Amino acid sequence: MNGYRQRTENKRKAIQLAALDLFASHGIAKVSLAEIAKKARVSPVTIYNYFGTKDALVKAVMIYFLEEEWRRQIELMQSDLPFHVKVKKLMFDGEEWTGKWNKEILEELLSNDEEWKIMVENVFEDVLPELMRFIETGKNEGYIDHDLSSNTILVYFRLLKEIKLTPIYKEVSTNTRMLEELSKIIFYGLLNYKIEE
């Protein structure tokens, strides 16, 4: 990457991080481009040149958030930790990211905006191969039941991850006992004995 492109990327990242911090603290509606520019140490014109509108910047910041979250999780999946420890961390760690988002931003993430849904799906498609490898590793190491299809497990993981983006999870995330109990349910289910069929 040449010097100009590197400076451009650095400015884009500074703008996104500044916007992320301000949106998390004050909500999207209350933050102006001028405030973001001041925090990022760039001019409002620079933000306009890179992103166009505030709405476009909001989407770019959320995509950045999702990409960073997935990057962190891919690093975890590829780590040398035991499989069950990785699953627990994937489900419950990362509050430095998800804990930042207020109700307004969570609603935006869960909105019915088709363009936004497509962008989220594109991010997910990029990490899908790594998730499938992770599931296969769990099966090969005996942690995941071989009778369960990888696609079903993938849907289960996606449901668990989407719960983290809901306001109720923000309340749960500070309750250590509840997190431990949820972890137990994830690994062992609700029943403490085998039902005769």
pLDDT of residue 99: 54
Asked if residue 125 and residue 41 are part of one domain, the reply reads: no
Structure tokens at 57: 């910047």
Q: What is d(CA 149, CA 75) in angstroms, rounded to the nearest whole number?
A: 24
99: containing domain: 55-197
Count of the separate structural domains present in the chain: 2
Asked if residue 158 and residue 84 are part of one domain, the reply reads: yes
| CA dihedral sign of residues 75, 70, 154, 119 | negative
CATH of the domain at 12: 1.10.10.60
Contact predicate 31/23, CB 8 Å: yes
How long a stretch of residues is the chain? 197
pLDDT of residue 94: 58
Closest CA to 187 of 177, 179, 175: 179
pTM, two decimals, is 0.70
pLDDT of residue 104: 58
Which residues, at least 6 apart from 116, have a Cβ–Cβ distance to it below 8 Å? 59, 62, 108, 109
Q: How confident is the model over 154-182, as pLDDT tens digits?
A: 888 778 777 766 667 767 767 778 877 87
Residue 116 has pLDDT above 60, yes or no: yes
Asked if residue 173 and residue 117 are part of one domain, the reply reads: yes
CA–centroid distance for 43 within its chain? 29
Which of 48-62, 105-119, 120-134 reaches the highest mean pLDDT? Answer: 48-62
Locate all alpha helices (DSSP H) within the chain, ordered by sequence. Answer: 3-26, 33-40, 44-51, 54-77, 83-92, 95-98, 103-109, 114-140, 150-163, 167-172, 176-188
pLDDT of residue 49: 92
Burial class (CB within 10 angstroms; exposed 0-12, middle 13-18, buried 19+) of 114: exposed
Asked if residue 139 and residue 71 are part of one domain, the reply reads: yes
Q: How confident is the model over 7-18, as pLDDT tens digits?
A: 888 899 999 999
Report the interhelical angle of 33-40 vs 54-77 (nearest 10°): 50
- With cut-offs at 50, 70 and 90, classify the pLDDT of residue 103: low
CATH of the domain at 67: 1.10.357.10
Q: How confident is the model over 30-54, as pLDDT tens digits?
A: 899 999 999 999 999 999 999 999 9
Asked if residue 187 and residue 108 are part of one domain, the reply reads: yes
Q: Over pLDDT 70: what percentage of the chain?
A: 81
